[in-house]
Structure 1
Amino acid sequence: MATWLSPHFTLEELTATQQRGLDNTPSAQVTANLRATAERMEAVRELLGGHPILVSSGYRSPAVNRAVGGAVRSAHLTGQAVDFVCHRFGTPKAICRKLADSPLAFDQLIEEGTWVHVSFDPRLRRQVLTKARGGGYHTGLR
């Protein structure tokens, strides 16, 4: 049975991992963060015309984050980041353009090439980045 964090997002989809054998169970604090993140993702979904969002990564335990090569201070570790696509809306670049041009409160919005990363770290810097070929990031959308 699914544990709904918001009308369209479940705890199970925001904690799913392909890293077999690694525990990805969130703490009570991370679960509270995931609930707040799910509510913010409802706003993202609304901005994208109400189309379904496919989450590829939400919360990552430290072991899972290390296994996937995540940043040491990744907002995924606190349940405050989501990697996703929304095929019915458009490309990751189109999604980023829409979110960047909206009043949505976010910390980082990254066009990663084949997916979008959005984080809701409390700093809410509205930092917009594009993944660079060969590694690193460019400021803004390219």
Structure 2
Amino acid sequence: MNINQNLSPHFTLGELIHSDKAVELGIDNTPPDEVIERLKIVCCRILEPVRDHFHAAFKPSSGFRCPELNKAIGSGNTSQHIRGEAVDFEIPGISNYDLATWISTSLIYDQLILENYTSGIPNSGWVHCSIVSGKNRMQCLTIKGKSRQVGLIA
């Protein structure tokens, strides 16, 4: 596996599988081939359009997470990160609410979550976005702590 392999023009496999927590815990976060194919879809249909629209380079904070890593960070076993269908990210200098709003009206996605955003603090929280090869739900949520609401709430 070549971590420098481009999954799209501006995103590499290494960026989508890197995890400081995996390194810290000695977890092998190597994805199977079918997951790499899904990560290519995430890059081409979510990350590249976002980069093009905002004219900004950025690195995802979380892409693929193997089940062991996903459990170690306290995420559920149904997380789309395990299947390589989801990515968490933010763009420095762009409000995460504005980023999520643009995605909600411009892209096809399965699930879009504005996570831990605080109104008035533009770069608080992050955006989670997923896409599947079948029918995408176009589900939009805001999660803050244990509170979960339908829609994007600033």
Query: Is TM > 0.5 for Structure 1 vs Structure 2?
Result: yes
> Once the 2 structures are TM-superposed, how far is the Cα of residue 72 of structure 1 from its aligned partner?
1.4
Gaps of 5+ in 2: 118-124
Give the one of 107, 110, 113 matched to 2:110.
107
Which whole-Å CA distance do the structure 2 matches of 1:27 and 1:35 have between them? 13
- Alpha-carbon distance, 1:54 to partner: 2.4
**TM-score normalized by the length of structure 1:** 0.91
RMSD (Å), alpha carbons: 1.4
Secondary structure, in 3 states, of the residue corresponding to 2:142? strand
Match of 1:39 among 38, 44, 64: 44
Counterpart among 9, 12, 15 of residue 11 in structure 2: 9
CA apart distance, 1:46 = 2.1
- Offset at residue 50 of structure 1 (A): 2.4
Count of paired positions: 138
SS in 2 for 1:66: helix
The aligned counterpart of 1:53 is 58
Query: Structure 1 runs of 4+ off > 4 angstroms?
Result: none
- What's the CA shift for 1:51? 1.1
Q: Unpaired runs of 5+ in structure 1?
A: none
1:140 pairs, out of 118, 132, 151, with 151
Separation (CA, whole Å) in 2 of partners of 1:97 and 1:119? 15
Instruction: Please give the TM-score of this superposition, normalised by the length of structure 2.
Output: 0.84
Q: Distance in 2 between matches of 1:11 and 1:98?
A: 25
Percent of residue pairs bearing the same amino acid type = 38
Q: Could you say what secondary structure the match of 1:35 adopts?
A: helix
Q: Secondary structure at the match of 1:31?
A: helix
Supply the distance in 2 between the matched residues of 1:72 and 1:95 (Cα, whole angstroms).
Answer: 27
What is the CA deviation profile of residues 74-113 of structure 1, one whole-angstrom value per residue up to 9, with x for unaligned ones?
110011100000114x1111101111122x1100111012
